[in-house]
A and B are shown apart, each in its own frame.
Chain A
Amino acid sequence: MSNVLIFFYRRLKNSSFNSSTRTLSKLQIRNYAKATSFPDYYQNPIFRKEDQVKLIADSDLKNRATVPVKPPTVSETSSVYFDPLVNKVINHVMEKGNKRLARQLVEKAFENIKRKQIERYHLASTPEEKAKIELNPKDILYKAVENCKPLLQLQPIKRGGITYQVPGPITEKRSLFLAIKWLLETTDEKERTVHFPEQFAWELLEASNNTGKVVKRKQDLHRQCEANRAYAHYRWQ
């Protein structure tokens, strides 16, 4: 456990202040809640070509070569297809371990996003409008998740028999988790005839525009936190 914390700290030191790289670096650390078949001192695999190149450049290789390495999972490849956030979303969509189906659904959703955006691109008349339209579905996913992340959360704290909803800080990980969870929950509230990929594509497009149900949910949460500002001192009582 301690080795993982040291690893974490070193990563935080080395990473820049850009929040997206911080999130990405956190995604690649697996802190298992239960005991796994690998002891704690095993280090996580570095499977991306650019990370490996950086490692050779920093000449950190000697330190790492002595410590044993966990194997990467089947989906962690060095191919152009791999993206840590997309992989995380696919994992959240997955049910009963059916990763193949989950991946197909998310890829279909990306295809739908791409078609809609290309349609809008061709309908736009001026080059300035065309430049504003984002065509890469992965960028839209990143933007949508960014827009849906809450900055505070409500914690139930019991004082004198009454449970107050107290606003408090939220970790990056939990914030990302809530964003993805809310996106998937709103896609589930769809009509019977509409398929998951289409609805998911709609939700992502609306979220990346800062409109839609998920962003509204985040803003409602922020409003609640603002309203319950008076109870904030209950965290330290």
Chain B
Amino acid sequence: MKQTKTFTETAIMVRQPALDIMDCIRASDMNKPVIRYVLYGEKGSGKSLTLAHLLHYALEEGYLILHVPWVSEWLRRTPRHKEMTNSQTKEGFVDLPLDAAEWLLHFKTQNQALLKNCELKISKDYEWSKREKTEAGSPIAALVEHGINRVKYACDVIDALLLEIKILSNSKQCKTFVAIDGFNSFYYPMTRLNTPTKKKIKPEEVTLTNSFLELTKNDWNNGVVVLTIDQLAVPDENQESFLPRYLLYKKGFEHLDPFVPIEVGRYTDKEFLSCANYYRDRLWLRGPSDLETELKFTSASNPYNFMLQCAPL
């Protein structure tokens, strides 16, 4: 956020992995089941920004965007006390109502244009309680509104919403783009959540996990699924490698198999020079041009490290 203010613009470098995925999307047949792309790479090599670039592409092409900014927010980042309730519709599962409501708001703001034109309708009745009911044939926007207003039912609303979106995609009423950052934290054996009885919760016992795992199965068509797996999504002891098989564990790998792995690497020479020139243009970096050779060596052309090391110069 600070960087956008300092540079007075939001600009992402166009790099090869993003262009590869865009070519693949254009070439793929929408009638076949969804293709899942997995972005992997070292810490700080630019996976999340590649995802951002693809989201922009999806918006331009008119996809319905389902974007989870960072899965670990739900499962691992626990400020003092996380609002958790036991799920009412499913036995033994745990809800995260506030996070679910926040995500529904995020979904609404991202897809404002598509939700407004009201052609996407739900196919089934959903009964939330004796007095609250969402009828078949009402637009998706109404379902989302209900979830935001009644935080208690937000997780169930998400389940229903994802089911409906799958049905709509299958019937070719809309094309969907799913983007999940930090997918591997769904498969890490522990979360940082505890029940009030101090029992540790596994990710499979959280309703949100199951909703999004259902979404990434390849039993629907007319869509694209792009996932990112990141070492930062898991605690330090399990961060030995950045490769998919290690980070996804056996279960995740089998769930996602077959997928298209795409590596996001460090800067090439040309990318490094263009990044350095951009920083100079934005007044972030100054000094003699020998700085570049030295910085290339000390940061090992890693985008994040390069940005950090330019800070005090």
Q: List chain A positions with a Cβ less than 8 A from chain B.
A: 79-81, 106-108, 110-111, 114-115, 118-119, 121-122, 135-137
Q: List chain B positions with a Cβ less than 8 A from chain A.
A: 2, 5-6, 8, 282-284, 286-288, 290-291, 294, 311-313
Q: B312 contacts A107, CB within 8 Å? A: yes
Given contacts A80-B313, A114-B6, A114-B311, 8 further A-B contacts (CB under 8 A): A80-B287, A80-B288, A106-B312, A108-B312, A118-B6, A118-B282, A122-B8, A137-B312
Determine the chain A residues whose CB is within 8 A of the CB of B287 once the complex forms.
Answer: 80
Q: A135 contacts B8, CB within 8 Å? A: no
Q: Which residue of chain B has the shortest Cβ distance to A109 in the bound complex?
A: B312
Q: A110 contacts B283, CB within 8 Å? A: no
Q: B288 contacts A110, CB within 8 Å? A: no
Determine the chain A residues whose CB is within 8 A of the CB of B6 once the complex forms.
Answer: 114-115, 118-119
Interface centre among B283, B288, B311, B312 (most CB of A within 10 A): B312
Q: Closest Cβ of chain A: how far from B99's Cβ, in Å?
A: 27
A114 to B283, CA, bound (A): 9
Which of B283, B288, B291, B312 has a CB less than 8 Å from the CB of A118?
Answer: B283
Report whether over half of chain A's contact residues are helix, strand or loop; otherwise say mixed.
Answer: helix
Q: Which residue of chain B has the shortest Cβ distance to A117 in the bound complex?
A: B283
Determine the chain A residues whose CB is within 8 A of the CB of B288 once the complex forms.
Answer: 80
Q: B311 contacts A111, CB within 8 Å? A: yes
Q: Closest Cβ of chain A: how far from B301's Cβ, in Å?
A: 17
A115 to B4, CA, bound (A): 11
Given A107-B311, A122-B8, A137-B312, A114 and B291 contact (CB-CB distance below 8 Å): no
Determine the chain A residues whose CB is within 8 A of the CB of B8 once the complex forms.
Answer: 122
A106 to B284, CA, bound (A): 17
Q: A79 contacts B311, CB within 8 Å? A: no
Determine the chain B residues whose CB is within 8 A of the CB of A79 once the complex forms.
Answer: 294
Determine the chain A residues whose CB is within 8 A of the CB of B312 once the complex forms.
Answer: 106-108, 110-111, 114, 137
Q: Which residue of chain B has the shortest Cβ distance to A122 in the bound complex?
A: B8
A137 to B2, CA, bound (A): 18
Q: B311 contacts A119, CB within 8 Å? A: no
A236 to B300, CA, bound (A): 62
Q: Closest Cβ of chain B: how far from A229's Cβ, in Å?
A: 43
Determine the chain A residues whose CB is within 8 A of the CB of B291 once the complex forms.
Answer: 80
A121 to B5, CA, bound (A): 12
A-B CB contact pairs (8 Å), 24 listed: A79-B294, A80-B287, A80-B288, A80-B290, A80-B291, A80-B294, A81-B294, A106-B312, A107-B312, A108-B311, A110-B313, A111-B311, A111-B312, A114-B6, A114-B311, A114-B312, A115-B6, A118-B282, A118-B283, A118-B284, A121-B283, A122-B8, A135-B283, A136-B286
